[in-house]
Amino acid sequence: MNPAIRRYWPQYTWSNVLAMAKNMKSQPKRCAEPFQGRLVVITGATSGVGFHTARKYASMGARVLMINRNEDKSERVRKELSDEFGASVDYIIADLAVLADIQRAGRYLADLQAPIDALIHNAGLHLTTRSETIDGLEVNFVLHYLSTFIITSMLLDKYRRDGTGRILFVGSEAYRFAAWGLDLDDLQWERRRYAGIKAYGAGKLAQLLSMHRFAAELAPHGVTVNAMHPGMVRTETGKDNGRLYRWYKRNLIDGRSMSPEVSAEALYYLGASSEPARTSDTFFHLTTEEELAPPARDLAAAEALWARTVELLRRKGVTA
């Protein structure tokens, strides 16, 4: 038997397996507390969950800083939010699948004088075929895991100095597709047959495992680190995939999905409400706390992944 199956199988319980199905019926808690003059940083904010989250924070008085790939779309969103809400909105142009851009964005944030009151790692995509970045790394792994790892690592000293802030990973219940954990010897999917949903799930699982370490690092400094599933909502994720996937998404997924405004309400609650202010190292389905599946609770795997990540980045000339 696969050692990972032997390790995790006894830890699975019906309460855990059914948690997602139960929580899919829940609506997010909402927050009416203002965010006046406070800073929120959101990645991937030109469409979908990120865009509606930026709108929500701007409507509540936040100063919004977006990290996006496309300058024209970023300027459109900046103008829209500024005109509609009178909000202070700015952006950084960076491709979060490119190591140099990730580091540049991280340095910009680390040099900010003001505290980052909420950092929302939202940027994402779904691929059905394996693709590599200009750095020779698998795209899904970089965008969903390495980018969040590098930026958060680069901000640790700032968060320790500022003594405040909330970090939110927009994760996914799809991490459950990595039911037997990560293959630490093939994080780039070079040897195994690539399956889009499994690779996506592995990236989100890696993100969750890093959450444990970041939460522990920042707990003494009053900074919380959490992850959330944004619900089944309509987004542009997968728009660059093949015709069959686009048809499947348009006809079978989007028709059953909610507006991304639901996710934005959840992300505002988690980033602004006084209720979960001390909650850290927790996975939320929207705003409902949810028990993680066994591979996502494995602290030994989290430490091993951290070490592999640091070594991989060292080979690529990245000091996070």
pLDDT tens digit sequence for 153-202: 999 999 999 999 999 999 999 999 999 999 999 999 999 999 999 999 99
Strand duo 39-43 + 118-121: pairing: parallel
Instruction: Choose between 202 and 23: higher pLDDT.
Output: 202
pLDDT at 237: 52
Structure tokens at 221: 């400094």
| Average of per-residue pLDDT across 275-285 | 96
Q: Crossing angle for the helix pair 48-59 and 71-85, nearest 10 degrees?
A: 30
pLDDT reading at 240 higher than 70? no
Average confidence (pLDDT) over 80-107: 98
Averaged pLDDT for residues 45-66:
97
| Structural contact between residues 42 and 92, judged by C-beta atoms closer than 8 angstroms | no
**Orientation angle between helical segments 147-154 and 99-110, nearest 10 degrees:** 30
Banded model confidence at residue 55, pLDDT cuts 50, 70, 90: very high
Percentage of the chain beyond pLDDT 90 is: 82
Task: Find residue 285's DSSP bridge partners.
Answer: 229, 288
What are the domain boundaries of the chain? 26-315
Whether 19 shows a pLDDT value over 90: the answer reads: no
Q: Nearest Cα to 272, choosing from 3, 32, 79?
A: 32
Residue 134, number of CB atoms within 10 A of its CB:
11
Q: Provide the CA 19 distance to its chain's centre, in angstroms.
A: 20
The pLDDT value recorded for residue 301 is: 97
Q: What is the secondary structure of 222-253 as a DSSP string?
A: T-EEEEEE--SB---TTTTS-HHHHHHIIIII
Q: What is the pTM of this model?
A: 0.92
What would the pLDDT profile of 213-233 be if each residue is shown by its tens digit?
A: 999 999 999 999 999 999 876
Percent of the chain at pLDDT above 70? 92
Q: Are strands 288-290 and 283-285 parallel, antiparallel or unpaired?
A: antiparallel
Question: What is the CB neighbour count within 10 angstroms for residue 292?
Answer: 21
Closest CA to 306 of 198, 150, 171: 150
**Tell me, what's the pLDDT at 42?**
98
Phi, psi of 40 (to 5 degrees): -120, 135
Least confident of 17-31, 97-111, 265-279: 17-31
Mean pLDDT for all residues in the chain: 92
CA dihedral sign, ordered 223, 227, 232, 235: positive
Architecture per CATH, 26-315: 3-Layer(aba) Sandwich (3.40)
pLDDT for position 257: 54
